[in-house]
């Protein structure tokens, strides 16, 4: 038994300074970072994915009826400033058998090597989180080994409506199946919100297996009326069978961790945001820009709105920058601009224009 476990068994409250070390494998567990938006409406079927709080995705299977507003909310338990909130805007009183709606986070496989899964030294892990729901009911939560198609499904119960409760779940070690040492999907942690009968049969797991029991014993009470809410924060996944106090990281550190997967550059009111400089060749501008941090993979580049390319004091409006992406930097080309070979240039984002770079798992 570890020193932390010994103290906890004796009823002592542990501080982070007493425990020491980096423990939380989850990114943005305190819901501090929301680069895309602080709120998204109509989420649930056509609109899904990473819509608000970074690293937490709302996804679906089938063609669900229920719709939600997903937001970064300031209502949170003591010691936290934010939560992720899903509010029902279109209810579903008769959930179809094939329907599944859930929140999840993927963890890079190379960040899981300390678990020693697939070996005789495999370790137990503990998932803890704070949840608040407007209805008292049982929810399903499951973990998926994406490299070896192994599953662990269990449940947690909201005991009191509209009350922050901390849930702790210890997951057994898997000595049979490990994780690749790469930047792909390794582990998925999934909180089920809505589940039809195709997903709720089977049995709750006692060990990792190949049985795809995603949402056994899940109830759909909360999605039956508009205005009902489900909130999540303080998510921590750590090695061992003892849930330790939540490991708070600074906003700046959490932001950089999130920016490995996604970041957005925005033009703002009152001044232009210059995001690239370099040299021109004839009527084409070519420049190189470094990413905020090394990204997980070469990202997808999305431009929304126009930029102004300046060379020799003359600006050319462009809506079609042509990027060449890498994990550490990218090159941008702007053709058909009014310039003279050899002049320096800059590209400015005007108010309302955004550049998004996405390397999500």
Chain segment 309-340, per-residue pLDDT in tens: 876 666 788 888 888 999 999 988 888 777 66
Question: Which residue stretches of 42-164 are H helix?
Answer: none
Q: 230 in the Ramachandran plot: left (φ > 0), alpha (ψ -120 to 50) or beta?
A: beta
Indicate the DSSP class of residue 7. H
pLDDT tens-digit profile of 152-197? 999 999 999 999 999 999 999 999 999 999 999 999 999 999 999 9
- pLDDT > 50? residue 346: yes
User: Of 229, 259, 289, which marks where a domain is finished?
Assistant: 259
Higher pLDDT, 265 or 226: 226
The dihedral over CA atoms of 25, 30, 35, 41, expressed in degrees to the nearest 10, equals: 120
> Does residue 154 share a domain with residue 137?
yes
Choosing from 228, 259, 290, the residue where a domain stops is 259
Residue 245 to residue 12: CA distance in whole angstroms: 12
- Tens of pLDDT, residue by residue over 101-150, are 999 999 999 999 999 999 999 999 999 999 999 999 999 999 999 999 99
Which two three-digit tokens encode residue 157?
A: 């119960």
Residue 231 and residue 268 share a domain: no
Domain span at 79: 3-259
- The candidate with the shortest Cα–Cα distance to 66, out of 231, 264, 288, 221, is 221
User: Which of residues 230, 259, 288 is at a domain's end?
Assistant: 259
């Amino acid at each position: 038994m570890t020193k932390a476990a010994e103290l906890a068994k004796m009823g002592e409250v542990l501080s982070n300074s007493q425990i020491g070390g980096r423990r939380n494998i989850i990114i943005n567990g305190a819901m501090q970072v929301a680069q895309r938006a602080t709120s998204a409406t109509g989420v649930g079927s056509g609109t899904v994915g990473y819509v608000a709080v970074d690293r937490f995705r709302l996804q679906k299977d089938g063609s669900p009826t229920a719709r939600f507003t997903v937001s970064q909310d300031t209502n949170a338990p003591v010691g936290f400033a934010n939560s992720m909130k899903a509010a029902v805007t279109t209810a579903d009183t008769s959930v179809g058998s094939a329907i599944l709606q859930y929140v999840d986070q993927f963890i890079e496989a190379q960040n899981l090597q300390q678990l020693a899964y697939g070996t005789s030294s495999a370790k137990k892990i503990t998932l803890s989180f704070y949840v608040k729901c407007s209805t008292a009911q049982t929810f399903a939560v499951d973990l998926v080994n994406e490299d070896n198609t192994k599953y662990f499904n269990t449940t947690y119960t909201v005991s009191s409506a509209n009350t922050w409760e901390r849930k702790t779940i210890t997951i057994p070690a898997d000595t049979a199946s490990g994780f690749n040492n790469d930047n792909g999907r390794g582990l998925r942690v999934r909180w089920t919100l809505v589940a039809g009968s195709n997903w709720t049969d089977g049995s709750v797991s006692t060990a990792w297996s190949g049985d795809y029991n995603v949402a056994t014993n899940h109830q759909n009470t909360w999605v039956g009326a508009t205005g009902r809410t489900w909130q999540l924060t303080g998510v921590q996944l750590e090695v061992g069978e003892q849930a330790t106090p939540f490991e708070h990281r600074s906003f700046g550190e959490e932001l950089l961790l999130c920016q490995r997967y996604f970041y957005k550059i925005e033009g703002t009111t009152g001044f232009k945001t210059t995001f690239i400089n370099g040299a021109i060749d004839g009527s084409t501008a070519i420049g190189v820009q470094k990413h905020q941090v090394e990204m997980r993979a070469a990202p997808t580049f999305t431009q929304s709105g126009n930029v102004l390319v300046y060379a020799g004091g003359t600006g050319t409006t462009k809506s079609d920058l042509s990027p060449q992406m890498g994990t550490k930097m990218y090159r941008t080309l702007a053709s058909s601009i009014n310039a003279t070979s050899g002049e320096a240039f800059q590209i400015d984002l005007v108010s309302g224009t955004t550049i998004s770079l996405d390397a999500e798992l």
